[in-house]
Structure 1
């Protein structure tokens, strides 16, 4: 899995099995997930908008699942908890009108879009995760004072890489608890950025840390207390690696946890911190790992 921002769109690439309520949704195999920002007054054909975007990026429409929103990608929240990664944009300008007939409207700033990346889920597990995500989103809205459980255009996509062994993702399971906690926290953070309660000029990156007790840490490049974590003059554009977990043991290691799934650790990797590699990856977001390593070794 890798992800990047391009032309006001979040693009997630890999080989996925996806369960989504997105355009061309359902359960199917995909290579690309997109959360695309449209204008606030968008009134066009959502299918045509997505198709035009996909073709402009040189991707396959058949292998793409797309979500649309008018929420700025600068308010995007990316949350990482070991192998779990969640992407959230959120706005509540147009909540579900309780007690009235709802007509599907064009995507607006009142849309909550959630993409969840997990490992080794079966189709049953993907569907179960949709329930967990919806529960957590609704609870997050209630927690910050809203009386509704969602908006008329909310969408969710659960994507998995791997063999498909995980069948259950309810909040009684460990992975379900993580999904619930991440979406609950991330939805509130995304809404605070959309409403201006928290001001950010770029997407926000969070990591779940167990040091000093379980809690979320927002990484900000400015005044980072850990710089330089590798070497003087390093680039920190990809402190949260868009290639994670690459699984290349020349760059990182699988860390065994008693009774739990292994976790990919890349603390010794300096690949994406090298200035020329970082610049190349930003210019060529589809560059392969082998291409980046070859460039790194030439330096």
Structure 2
């Protein structure tokens, strides 16, 4: 009888919660656990250990961990992620490996989500794929012929700072006219707040668009144009087989995609229009955990 393959463990550290999953080799979630993210990283390590300890004997020797950047992947440390302020400069990989006796593969959360969608989600049938998360900010993970594009300084996929306009709001750490400043969930929330004095964000905007409220339609169309411009840039630079869209804003995909797809097609070469596949992500909040579990098998560029 063939020896049964061990399952994989994936961990996703977020500003609000730490998620852990025991994942089969075909990407199915066997077990899932979650705990609030503490401010103190040493406490965080204890919480992670409590989540996964009883999985370790029967899991692979390498464990993937997804987390928000910036991070130094070569040294395995957090740098200064804004939503994990207490974790700045924390030597995560060293501490994890000392506590658990397993090899830790540390990765940016957008890249990990891209790996998850590529192996077990919307991108399973694609050879090359760009995963874009549209949420508080905008980030991306790029998979080319089954390999994750990391970049020389591990910064590939930082598409939020891509300039798509000569004008726009100024935000700390971002270029004026950056994609994130104009097309993120935060950008929508600011517009809705300015016009309606409400913090309902993308959900409220889409509701008002459905009611054909004129200001909402104007805001939505401008946002679609900005989002389409950034996607068109990625299509021209990378020419992926598929674009996969995730993040909280894409909960409104039924209203967004019918407008977004033709807007992207208008902005790319005619020869590319018939080949563009734009799909919603399939894994939802599980993408980081599932993707982290696949980090031991994905190759990097």
Normalised to the residue count of structure 2, the TM-score between the two structures is 0.28
Identify the structure with bigger relative contact order (alpha carbons < 8 Å, sequence gap 6+). Answer: 2
